[in-house]
């Protein structure tokens, strides 16, 4: 019987997708083959129409590229202010996501125009890509209109690169395109587009010549135009499929060619697959390959048949098909159901010659023709010698031990049924006694299967004839009518046995599927509660042993991308094979193209962010890893990868929390202690100054002691100030008072502050005359220079020179301070900028290692960098790098200072 109900799983999936879409904003994409076809123009034209309908819309960001017609359309449309972001010495305009979200919250049914979906945001923005900004708007329920070109689609990036010779760096995931509510293709013939380019309507004159010689060649534009139309057609095909699901359509809509190849584990199957692959390639259409497990195939105990089916499915997958295995009561009904669920209009089957020993039996193709007139059927012919065989003339395989037990039990049950029925032969009609034998056949079919049921049918007819039909104990019959009784009894017994055995097999298959689903649920439930990697390994081992009787080995990748084997591993896979699978992110080993003779199947654990490890399994001797088993292993690997990643981020979060709390506690202690120490130190300095100024003057020895006390107190006060400043910088409570200052003034001020300990050193300052102004907090940058110069005075000979140089290097301004001391300790060039690090531990120079740490924090707050290195000719060099920013233009009404 042909079941025309829609697939409940696909229908539920579509309903869930519709529910999610109902809470999101709607995305409309204006899609084109290249720049200049008029996508932005079309979007703005549509926006004017929407504005007439009183739809609350605003331009988030629109790029006119200097095109007059496009710029004219933006004049009457409301717009959001762009966000100013400083990057590499320039201030750039970017889309203000927060302002857009605010507009959406305050205006129901808001619509925002966001041009150039593939654009990369300036570093420092909330998201690296503009399509991620759009996703956040959609999640907030805000409608978005945007534009993009075909070359920016991720799946077509390499194809466009081969066509045009230009690799496009900015791409958009295909799912964004596929999930859009509406896609409008903006098309322009190549000749007209080239003409627009020559007329200067697309680029500036200096860019037009370059574009016409590279990207905008007619051949490129024709190919890109075809890609655009094809990709849009693919998307429309998905929309049609979703519509069919929503409306429970049970017929195939042949709006597009698509193929479904039926696999049979014989010589026909391989030719069907290869023929389907060639046809799909010629038509450039997707195709599927399916192997139907029907009751007639489920009873086969020959593992060679299943291995052949697995091999053919893998061949189909390698040739580009979507290969699946499904269970059905009949091959024809299974094919029809799958074709209608996936809207596959053309079926490819093998055409075997008609069996002379069963002439009235209909072929699969004939059954499909009778049940589904909406499907086209292509039959592949196969040489008769490749498939011709007579099943009952084949050399049968010997029964297994279980089958022998079933046959003996069948004979015993038939005998018991006969003995049970004999006492009733005088009181019951023979037609009623027949029921006992039919009941025995049904029980045997359920308990022992098809073969035993067939045996029971013949044996029961024989026993009924011998024991109940006159003349008794003879195969002869006195009434010819009993021959009809025997025939009907035999046929009914065979049919009952066949149907009962089929029901049992289908029931067993359903039970097996339910058991696997339950096992996956239990595994998922257990994994959701684990807190340690070792627990994940134990759950994986238990699941694999239960489902596959397999040995396993779990390898976890550490932070250095080194694989660590878990201690509960029972399999011993080839380490080189495991490493290859991890490096390439592909399955390897048993049943694959990489070391297929290996006893282990190796599967990468792919999580959201990265590969988390490798799962290696060694199946039992009688276990065949078919498509169903591979799907089960893929689900298992995904669950394991997600759990490992969850534990990783949980560990990172815990460490970060501990680190933050530790820093907070340390900063609080430093702040409290520093405040408590500053008061007595200030009093101590004041007392020393008072004693030094008393009359009569103190003796020279007392004066020396007081001066030493005063200097020690001042150094201690500086130390306390450093502790307080470091705590404030790390807490983020220091607010920069940036001003535009010439760098020479900052250097001069720092040298004046250091005059007390630099008075005996030759100082050379060389700053380029064309150095621009820098936007800095003068007090803090002076502090950085003082710290470095103070270190130079401490760690270098007393009369050694110090050189300060400044110059512009592209979009950076560099300031270097060179000394002629011993240089920096090898390998500690970065460590010296950490808190409480002083390089050589045995050095007796006073200090606790906060000066350079404070300097690094100050430079980081200015978006600059500080580094240290040893000079090749001796000494140390400290380099400060400031971002180059263009100073604001001076207005005419600004007062100008005149020096007299």
Structure confidence by residue, pLDDT tens digits, 699-715: 778 778 877 787 777 76
Q: How far apart are CA 217 and CA 127, in angstroms?
A: 34
- Name the nearest CA neighbour of 31 among 208, 188, 212, 223: 188
Half-sphere exposure of 505 (CA within 13 A, CB side): 23
Confidence tier at 898 by pLDDT (50, 70, 90):
very low
Average the pLDDT over 70-83 and give the result: 89
Q: 69-73, 135-139, 654-658, 660-664: which range is least confident on average? A: 660-664
Confidence of residue 899 (pLDDT cuts 50, 70, 90): very low
Using alpha carbons only, give the angle 760, 764, 765 rounded to the nearest 5 degrees.
Answer: 130
Q: Which residues contact 759 (CB under 8 A, 6 or more apart)?
A: none
Mean pLDDT over 218-241 rounds to 82
Q: Tokens 């292509």 label which residue?
A: 378
Plot region of 109 (φ>0 → left; ψ -120 to 50 → alpha; else → beta) = left
Q: Note the helical H segments in 693-823.
A: 700-731, 743-753, 755-758, 778-795
- 99 vs 298, higher pLDDT: 99
pLDDT at position 19, please? 57
Position 357 scores a pLDDT of 47
Closest listed residue to residue 114, CA positions, set 68, 162, 166, 62: 62
Which residue in 216, 249, 449 sits closest to 340, CA to CA?
A: 249
pLDDT at 36: 83
pLDDT at 390: 39
Q: Which of 36-40, 250-254, 512-516, 806-810 has the lowest mean pLDDT?
A: 250-254
Using CA atoms, how far apart are residues 898 and 4, in angstroms rounded to an integer? 94
Going by their DSSP bridges, the two strands 588-589 and 763-767 should be labelled as unpaired
Q: What percent of the chain has pLDDT above 90?
A: 21
* Residue 810 neighbours by CB under 8 Å, 6+ apart: 884
Task: Kindly report the average pLDDT of the chain as a whole number.
Answer: 81
What local confidence, expressed as pLDDT, does residue 416 receive? 92
pTM of the full predicted structure? Answer: 0.52
Cis peptide before 696 (omega within 30 of 0): yes
pLDDT at 340 over 90: no
What's the pLDDT at 701?
80
The 10 Å Cβ neighbour count of residue 152 is: 22
Distance between CA atoms of 857 and 879, rounded to whole angstroms?
15
Residues constituting the chain:
900
pLDDT in tens, 649-673: 888 888 888 877 877 776 676 666 6
H or E segment to which residue 589 belongs:
strand 588-589
Q: Which residue has the tokens 């803090």?
A: 780
Give the separation between CA 854 and CA 781, rounded to whole angstroms: 11
Rounded Cα gap, residues 444 and 121, in angstroms? 72
pLDDT reported for residue 389: 44
Top-confidence residue, 392 or 120:
120
Q: What was the pLDDT predicted at 58?
A: 94
Q: What is the pLDDT of residue 857?
A: 86
Q: Count each helix (H run) and each strand (E run) in the chain, helices first.
A: 28, 24
Distance CA 626, CA 603 (A): 15
Beta strands in 328-457 (DSSP E): 346-351, 376-381
More confident residue, 369 or 627: 369
Band (pLDDT 50/70/90 cuts) for residue 15 is low
pLDDT average, residue stretch 691-695: 73
How far apart, in whole angstroms, are the C-alpha atoms of residue 754 and residue 712?
18
* Mean pLDDT value across residues 754-783: 86
Tokens of 387: 């498939």
pLDDT digits (tens, 9 = 90+) for 551-598: 999 999 988 889 999 999 999 999 999 999 998 888 988 878 788 888
- 564 forms beta bridges with 556
- Start-to-end Cα distance in the chain: 108
pLDDT, tens only, 866-884: 999 998 888 899 999 998 8
Only one residue has tokens 């409940």, namely: 8
The pLDDT of residue 894: 40
Q: How confident is the model at residue 679 (pLDDT cuts 50, 70, 90)?
A: confident
CA distance 748 to 771: 15
Tokens in use for 682?
């200030």
Beta bridge partners of 27: 144
- What is the rounded average pLDDT of the residues 775-779? 88
Degrees to nearest 5, angle at CA 575 with 571 and 580: 120
* Dihedral angle of Cα 427, 431, 437, 441, to the nearest 10 degrees: -150
Report strand pairing: 611-618 vs 601-606.
antiparallel
SS3 per residue for 408-426: HHHHHHHHHHHHHHHHHCC
- pLDDT of amino acid 842: 44
Mean pLDDT, residues 418-447: 85
Q: Is the Cβ–Cβ distance between 345 and 254 less than 8 Å?
A: yes
Residue 395 has pLDDT above 50, yes or no: no
Beta strands in 195-293 (DSSP E): 259-262, 287-293
Best CA proximity match to 577, nearest among 566, 591, 567: 591
Using one digit for the tens of pLDDT, what is the confidence trace for 267-296? 788 889 999 999 988 887 889 999 887 765
For residues 783 and 858, the answer to whether their CB atoms sit within 8 Å is yes
> What is the pLDDT at residue 654?
86
Structure confidence at residue 255 (pLDDT): 61
Give the residue, 451 or 2, on which the prediction is more confident. Answer: 451
Question: Of the ranges 15-29, 284-298, 592-606, 834-848, which one carries the lowest mean pLDDT score?
Answer: 834-848
Give me the residue label for tokens 């290696």. 616
Domains and CATH numbers, the chain: 10-246 (3.40.50.300), 259-354+361-393 (3.40.50.620), 401-507 (no CATH), 519-638 (3.30.450.40), 736-883 (3.30.565.10)
Most confident of 79-93, 134-148, 726-740, 778-792: 134-148
> What secondary structure does DSSP assign to 282-330, as a single string?
HHT--EEEEEEE-HHHHT---HHHHHHHHHHHHHHHHTT-EEEEEE-SS
Q: How many CB atoms lie within 10 A of CB 233?
A: 12
Pairing of strands 563-565, 588-589: unpaired
Closest CA to 54 of 113, 100, 107, 115: 107
Which of 168-177, 205-214, 432-441 is predicted with the least confidence, judged by mean pLDDT?
A: 205-214
Are 368 and 335 in contact by the 8 Å Cβ rule? The answer is yes
873/450 Cα distance (integer angstroms) = 93
Q: 454-480 in b/e burial notation, b at 16+ Cβ within 10 A?
A: bbbbebbbebbbeebbeeeeeeeeeee
């Amino acid at each position: 019987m042909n079941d025309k109900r829609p697939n409940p799983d696909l229908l539920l999936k579509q309903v869930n997708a519709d529910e999610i879409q109902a809470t999101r904003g709607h995305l409309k994409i204006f899609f084109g083959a290249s720049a200049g076809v008029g996508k932005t123009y079309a979007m703005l034209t549509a926006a004017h129409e929407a504005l007439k309908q009183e739809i609350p819309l605003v331009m988030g960001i629109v790029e006119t590229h200097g095109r007059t017609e496009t710029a004219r359309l933006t004049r009457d449309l409301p717009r959001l202010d762009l966000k100013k972001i400083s990057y590499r010495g320039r201030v750039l305009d970017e889309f203000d996501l927060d302002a857009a979200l605010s507009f959406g919250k305050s205006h129901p049914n808001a619509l925002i125009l966001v041009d150039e979906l593939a654009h990369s945001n300036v570093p420092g923005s909330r998201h690296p890509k503009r399509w991620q900004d759009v996703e956040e708007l959609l999640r907030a329920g805000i409608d978005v209109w945007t534009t993009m070109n075909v070359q920016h689609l991720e799946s077509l990036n390499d194809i466009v690169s081969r066509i045009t010779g230009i690799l496009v760096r900015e791409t958009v995931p295909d799912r964004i395109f596929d999930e859009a509510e509406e896609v409008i293709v903006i098309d322009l013939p190549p000749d007209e587009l080239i003409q627009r380019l020559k007329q200067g309507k697309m680029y500036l004159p200096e860019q037009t010549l370059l574009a016409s010689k590279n990207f905008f060649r007619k051949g490129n534009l024709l190919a890109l135009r075809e890609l655009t139309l094809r990709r849009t057609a693919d998307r429309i095909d998905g929309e049609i499929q979703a519509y069919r699901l929503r409306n429970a359509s049970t017929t195939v809509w042949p709006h597009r060619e698509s193929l479904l190849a039926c696999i049979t584990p014989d010589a026909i199957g391989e030719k069907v697959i290869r023929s389907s692959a060639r046809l799909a390639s010629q038509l450039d259409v997707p195709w599927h390959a399916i192997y139907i497990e029907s009751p007639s195939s489920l009873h086969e105990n020959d593992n060679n048949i299943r291995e052949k089916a697995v091999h053919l499915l893998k061949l189909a997958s390698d040739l580009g098909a979507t290969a699946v295995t499904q269970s059905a009561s009949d091959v024809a009904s299974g094919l029809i159901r799958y074709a209608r669920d996936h809207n596959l209009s053309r079926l490819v089957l093998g055409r075997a010659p008609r069996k002379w020993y069963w002439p009235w039996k209909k072929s699969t193709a004939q059954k499909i023709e009778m049940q589904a007139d909406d499907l086209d059927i292509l039959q592949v012919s196969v040489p008769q010698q490749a498939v011709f065989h007579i099943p009952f003339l084949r050399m049968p395989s010997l029964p297994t031990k279980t089958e022998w037990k079933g046959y003996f039990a069948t004979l015993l049950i038939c005998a018991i049924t006969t003995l049970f029925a004999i006492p009733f032969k005088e009181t019951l009609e023979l037609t009623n006694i027949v029921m006992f034998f039919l009941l025995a056949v049904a029980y045997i079919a359920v308990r022992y299967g098809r073969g035993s049921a067939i045996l029971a049918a013949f044996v029961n007819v024989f026993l009924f004839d011998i024991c109940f039909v006159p003349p008794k104990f003879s195969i002869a019959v006195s009434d010819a009518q009993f021959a009809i009784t025997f025939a009907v009894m035999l046929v009914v017994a065979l049919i009952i046995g066949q149907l009962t055995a089929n029901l049992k097999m289908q029931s067993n298959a359903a039970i097996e599927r339910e058991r696997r689903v339950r096992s996956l649920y239990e595994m998922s439930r257990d994994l959701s509660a684990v807190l340690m990697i070792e627990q994940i390994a134990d759950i994986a081992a238990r699941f694999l042993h239960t489902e596959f009787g397999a040995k396993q080995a779990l390898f976890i990748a550490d932070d250095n991308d080194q694989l660590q084997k878990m201690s509960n591993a029972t399999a011993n896979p080839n380490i080189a094979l495991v490493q290859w699978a991890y490096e390439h992110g592909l399955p390897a080993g048993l049943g694959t193209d990489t070391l297929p003779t290996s006893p282990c199947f190796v599967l990468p654990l792919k999580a959201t962010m990265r590969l988390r490890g490798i799962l290696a399994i060694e199946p039992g001797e009688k276990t065949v890893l078919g498509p169903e088993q591979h799907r089960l292993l893929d689900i298992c690997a995904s669950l394991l990868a997600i759990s490992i990643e969850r534990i990783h981020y949980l560990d990172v979060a815990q460490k970060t929390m501990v680190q933050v709390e530790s820093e907070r506690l340390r900063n609080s202690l430093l702040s409290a202690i520093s405040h408590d120490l500053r008061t007595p130190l200030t009093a101590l300095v004041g007392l020393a100054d008072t004693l030094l100024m008393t009359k009569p003057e103190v003796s020279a020895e007392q004066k020396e002691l007081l001066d030493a006390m005063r200097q020690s107190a001042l150094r201690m006060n500086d130390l306390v100030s450093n502790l307080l400043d470091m705590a404030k910088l790390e807490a983020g409570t220091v607010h920069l008072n940036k001003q535009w200052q010439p760098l020479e003034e900052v250097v001069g001020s720092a040298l004046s502050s250091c005059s007390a300990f630099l008075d005996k050193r030759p100082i050379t300052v060389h700053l380029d005359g064309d150095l621009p102004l820098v936007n800095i907090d003068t007090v803090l940058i002076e502090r950085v220079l003082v710290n470095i110069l103070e270190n130079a005075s401490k760690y270098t000979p007393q009369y050694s020179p110090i050189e300060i140089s400044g110059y512009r290097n592209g979009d950076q301004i560099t300031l270097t301070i060179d000394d002629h001391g011993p240089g920096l300790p090898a390998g500690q060039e970065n460590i010296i900028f950490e808190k409480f690090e002083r390089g050589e531990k045995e050095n007796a120079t006073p200090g606790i290692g906060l000066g350079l740490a404070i300097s690094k924090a100050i430079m980081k707050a200015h978006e600059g960098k500080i580094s240290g290195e040893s000079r090749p000719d001796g000494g140390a060099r400290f380099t400060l790098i400031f971002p180059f920013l263009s100073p604001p233009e001076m207005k005419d009404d600004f007062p100008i200072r005149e020096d007299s």
